[in-house]
Every structure is written in structure tokens, then in C-alpha cells.
A and B are shown apart, each in its own frame.
Chain A
Amino acid sequence: MPAASLALEVRALRKTFGTVVAVDGLDLDVHSGECFGLLGPNGAGKTTTIEICEGLQEADSGDVIVLGQRWNSDERALRERLGVQLQETQFSEKITVEETITLFRSFFQRGPAVSEIIGLVQLDEKRAARVGTLSGGQKQRLSVACALAGDPELLFLDEPTTGLDPQSRRQLWDLVERLRASGRTILLTTHYMEEAERLCDHVAIVDQGKVIASDTPRALIRSLGAEQVVEVELVEGAAVPTGLFATTTGVLDSRIDGPVWSLQVSAAHQAVPAVLRTLEAAGLSMTELRTHTPTLEDVFVSLTGRHLREQ
């Protein structure tokens, strides 16, 4: 892929805070026009990475090229072309939605009219409402609206739906999908695998400051080679031999997490009876058995042995 089509290029990025290594040799290639997701658990280094890309933190080492430019050259010109949404910004509560967006719009030389931005994020009815009266989802859409004030070529969204209720989350997804369809490049971080699956053309799975897998969501899931995932929950406290399902028919890979076995299987109709036989032979009883089609969560479990949302 020629470098010209890259909106963002990150090479061997490293950042430490005291003795804690937040980012540990991370590489990213974000192509123009795609929605790229950094997926990983809390503390994986996603926010540090995105803030270095936004020029808000400095890396210890490594190289970041944003829209063909490094942060040490004309910073303001680059900022004209970027939209940034931070994880924890609280806008002034006494100021209205329209006043807030007008302020951000005034920082950029070019960009859409304030009323157009308000319409896009569907805050028309809240135009004259003070920020303090908005719901969580409305505040988050205001935050995205401020990021859109300069009609950005590259949009950074850091955990845009964290803490939102399911309906607000779907409204925000809808907004991101419309932005993606308009040809903007988007880099977003999330620890929700369904968010990454739905929104992203490309996903980098991040764990402990490194990218441990990077591809389209479909390709990542296909790489498991499994058609189904079977989860078996055993009676708590049972002594479980390691490699219990290693030789079970149809089981491609198996992981244990607490009392739950997660089994990747090729054909569920053959694997499930075999799993039951294995349990019976080992004298173990289970409390629940579930199957689902594989998700990015399973990819993460397969790569790290841990779940995304565990602490």
C-alpha cells in the first residue's frame, strides 16, 4: 500500500509513566477513508496511543505521521484538519449547546455552519439548552459535534460510547456510520467488541501496549477457524484437569476462565455430544451450556486467555 493513502502511520511507539509501560512498541496503519478501531481492555494503552496521535502527549520514542505530517512541524495547520473527541471533557454547564459549538467553530478557519453541525448530531431540540441539562448521550453527541467543527479529514473518538445506555449507544453508532459514509477517516478506541464489529473496517486488538492482532473484524474472526463457540460452565470449585478437552472430537481450541470453559468448535452438532461425553468420563457436572457464533471477544480470549471487560 503506498504511503500516500495512509491517514495515520504509527511506528514502534513507546511511552512509559514511571515504571509503567503504557505503550510498548506499537504499530498502526490507518488508511484514508476507513474507520479504524483500537480494541482492547481498560489499561491496554489505547488512550495514551490516541492522545499521542492527537499531539496531546509526547512519545518516549517511535514515529507518528498524521495526514503526512509530524507533530514537530506546523502544529496549527495540522489541527485545522483534525477532529478530536476526548474521553472525559466536561463542557461548561452554564453555556448552551449552540454557544458551545459556535465557540469551537470559531477556532477553525473552515467548516460547516453551526446549525448544520447541530442537525447532524440531532441536537436541534436542545439547541438553546444549557449543557448542564443534557443527558449522557446528548453530551457525548455534543462532544462529537465539537470535534466536527472544522470539517476534519481525520476524526479521533476516544471511547465514544463508554457509560452510555444501549439506546444512546445506538444513536452514536448511527452518527459514526454516517460520518464514515461521508468518507472521513475515523480512529476510535473501544472496549466493546460489538461496537468494533459494527463500526470498524479495520480493527487492531491492543493488549499491554502492543497490537496483538490487526485485520478486518471478519478476517480476525475467521482466523479462529471455528464455526461456533461452546461455553460450558462447571460446578464451582470442581478440580478440573488441564487439557480436559484437548482430545475431544471437533474441539479446535479450549480455554478456561474461572468455572467457564470456552471451546472453539468446527461443527457444533458433532462437538457438543463429544463434550458431554468428555465431561461424563471425567466425572464433572456442569450448570450451563451455551453456544454462539464467534465474535471479536472470542478472538481476544483466544489470543490472551482473558476476557475484554475483566479488570
Chain B
Amino acid sequence: MSNAEPKQVAWNPQAGSSTSPLLQLTLIRFREFLREPEAVFWTFIFPLLLAGGLGLAFRSRPGDVAKVGILTSAPAAETIRAALAGDSTLQLVSLDDSAAAAALRIGTVALVVAAQDAQRVEYRYDRAREEARTARLLVDEALQRSHGRKDAVAVTESLISERGSRYIDFVLPGLLAMNLMGSGMWGIGFSIVDARRKKLLKRFVATPMRRYHYLASFLLMRLGLMVIEVTVIASFGYFAFGVPMRGSLIAFGVACLLGALVFGSLGLLVASRAKTIEAASGLMNLLMLPMWVASGVFFSAGNFPDAVQPIIQALPLTAVVDSVRGIMIQGLGWAQLLPEFAIVTTWLVLSFGVALRFFRWR
């Protein structure tokens, strides 16, 4: 720089072409998201890992095999072993006393058989465990038959295998809805609180920017990401586990759209006053934790007592989970989805209205 007279600022004030502020704000949202590798991971990769893990752990095994321990210290261990060896539904393991106790405790065997002689056996198992009760029935059946028990009633079996009744069919729509909640609330809530903390909100308010453009840019980003999230998770379920899509894709799209919007609005609501990330974080957990537990993501909401059912059914996540699951697994139509859609829309209108009304811009 020379010390000469400062140059005039000679520019053409009309030279700049004005692009749409809503477009620019939305582009910034996407850039902020895509340039944050952690956010990309939690939004896209994590739900896939979770679905994959749960799908593998709870996959339906044809002709489930019960693991049974034979207590080697019992006098008739070998006799019993020979009697059970022919049964393909049982997997036998020989165990001494301490190994048997340990195996029962950690669930590597469902049942331990201690045989005094060929006529007297003792079953050791935990009655509260389903696979232990099943193992007891299987072992008992095999033992009694090998000693000549005859069926009193003639039975024929016709086996069916219904797609849509497995655990993965139950949990995948739940995970999809939960993901819409998580990325909507964290994604929007944190960005806004962060912008407020960095005085960026105040800086925007000092320009002619329209305030609803700013808020709308977050919802637009959520809609864009929602399409990707939902497509990735639903097609992963379809191709990796054969999770069906029985209902109409349009109804499914509407359910996901409403879900993304309602949790986006709840994110705006949580962020509308909070000045620190910590305060927002607490509020988010307060809102989301009951829904993770009660809304039927991992197990049916019907497990909760009747007295709290009206509350659980009114939660936004319950409504989104039920509608997404209903469309994918049961193929529900518009009329059956109406109550869920009404609940979600009510939450959406209320939370967006309140957020807009109480939003702290400075």
C-alpha cells in the first residue's frame, strides 16, 4: 500500500445481480451440513449400522435350535446324551458344574439337564426366559418320546412364513421415524442456537433479510435430506432384509414429509429461546427421551399400561412410527392413516406457530 491519497471506491451499485435470498440461505444450510462429516455419519450411516445390527441379531432362524447343556458330573449324563442326540432341534454341550452355572447365567445355553439315572432327570433353567421355556419343552418331548410316550391326539402341521412379521420388519420403520426425529431436532436446533450464540442471528436481523426466509431455509434443508435419509433406509431394508413396502408410495412420502416437518418445527421450538447449546441439549433430551422409550420404535407401545395409552398415542413420534409402519408392513390406506396424520399436523402447526411467535432473534 502506498501512502497516496486513498482511492475512491468506484463501483457500479447495480452491477451485482440479486439472487434469491431463500435459495442462498438454503444452499448455506446444505453446505454447512455436508462439510460436517460427523453430521453426515449420524444422519445416514448410523441408522444403517443400527438396522443391520438389529436385523442380524434378531434374524429368524429356520427351525430354531435350542442350546442345551448336559451336566457331566451327573451319573446318567451319557445315557441322556444318547437319548437326545438324534434330535436336530437341540444342540448339546457337555458342561461341568461351574461351567454349567456360568453358561446359564450368561445365556450361552438355555437349559441344563442333570440326569440321576434314565428315569429321573432335573431341568435347570430360568422360567422368565422364553428360549429357556422352549428348550424345556423340546428336551422333554424328545426324552419322553425316546422312552415310548405316544401322542394322544393326531396332529398335522402346515407351516407358513410371513414377510412382515419378523423383528426387522417391526424395527426398521421405527428406526426410520426415529431418524426423522433425531436429525430434525438436532440438525435444526443446534444450528440455530449456534448462530444465536455467535451473534450471527443478530447480524442477519441487521439486514433486510426476511425472517421467515431464514426459518424456511432450515425446513427446506430438512426436506431435501429427508428424501435421501428415507430412501437410503427404506431401500436398505428392502434389499438387505426384504422388509416390504405394502402401502402406496405416495402415502409413504406424505408420512415422511409430515414427519420431517413436525420434528423440524419442534427443533425450531426448542431453539426459539435457548442461548446456549447446553440449554438446548437439555430441552431436546427432555422432549425426545420419552418418545424413544414410549413411542414404539424398538418394541410395541402397547406394552405400556392402558392408563398412559392416550398420552403415548398423542406423541408425535408415536403417530409417525405408526403411520410409517402401517404403510410399509400393513399397507394401510389413507382413511386408516387419517388419525395419525391429524395428530402430526396438529403438532406441526402448534410448534411452528409457537416457535415463530417466541423466537429470540438477538
Which A residues are within 8 Å of any B CB, using their own CB?
A: 54-57, 76-77, 79-80, 82, 84, 86, 88-92, 94-95, 99, 102-114, 116, 120, 130, 146, 149-151, 170-171, 174, 177-182
Contact = CB atoms under 8 A, between A and B. Distances in A.
Identify whether the interface residues of B are mostly helix, strand, loop, or mixed: loop
Given A91-B200, A178-B8, A181-B7, 19 more contacts: A57-B362, A79-B208, A84-B207, A89-B198, A92-B200, A94-B31, A94-B36, A105-B16, A106-B18, A106-B23, A107-B204, A108-B18, A112-B15, A113-B16, A116-B12, A120-B11, A150-B207, A151-B13, A174-B6
Contact of B12 (A56, A102, A109, A112): A112
Contacts, number: 125
Given A95-B28, A103-B25, A107-B21, A177 B202 contact: no
21 contacts: A55-B206, A56-B202, A77-B208, A79-B207, A86-B206, A90-B198, A91-B200, A92-B200, A95-B31, A106-B20, A106-B21, A106-B25, A107-B208, A113-B17, A114-B16, A120-B11, A146-B203, A178-B8, A179-B9, A182-B8, A182-B9
Contacts of B209: 107
Given A54-B206, A103-B24, A181-B7, A111 B199 contact: no
B102 interface: no
A63 B14 CA distance: 33
Chain B's interface size range is: 35 or more
A120 B23 CA distance: 26
Contacts of A170: 1
A178 B18 contact: no
Contacts of B96: none
Contacts of B204: 107
B147 to A, nearest CB: 74
Given A54-B206, A89-B200, A150-B208, A109 B18 contact: yes
Interface in B292-342: none
B199 A90 contact: yes
B224 to A, nearest CB: 17
A108 B206 contact: no
B321 to A, nearest CB: 33
Interface in B21-42: 21, 23-25, 27-28, 31-32, 35-36
A112 B16 contact: yes
B119 interface: no
A91 B8 CA distance: 28
The 8 A-B residue pairs with the shortest CB-CB distance, nearest first, are: A182-B9, A90-B198, A84-B206, A94-B35, A177-B6, A106-B24, A151-B13, A79-B208
B347 to A, nearest CB: 30
B227 interface: no
B205 interface: yes
Interface in B254-287: none
B19 interface: yes
Nearest to B25: A103
Contacts of A182: 8-10
A76 B208 contact: yes
Given A112-B15, A116-B11, A174-B6, A90 B200 contact: yes
Contacts of A91: 198, 200
Nearest to B9: A182
B31 A116 contact: no
Interface string B198-227: 111011111111100000000000000000
A199 to B, nearest CB: 11
Given A94-B36, A116-B15, A79 B206 contact: yes
Nearest to B35: A94
B207 A108 contact: yes
A182 to B, nearest CB: 4
Contacts of A178: 6-9
B32 A94 contact: yes
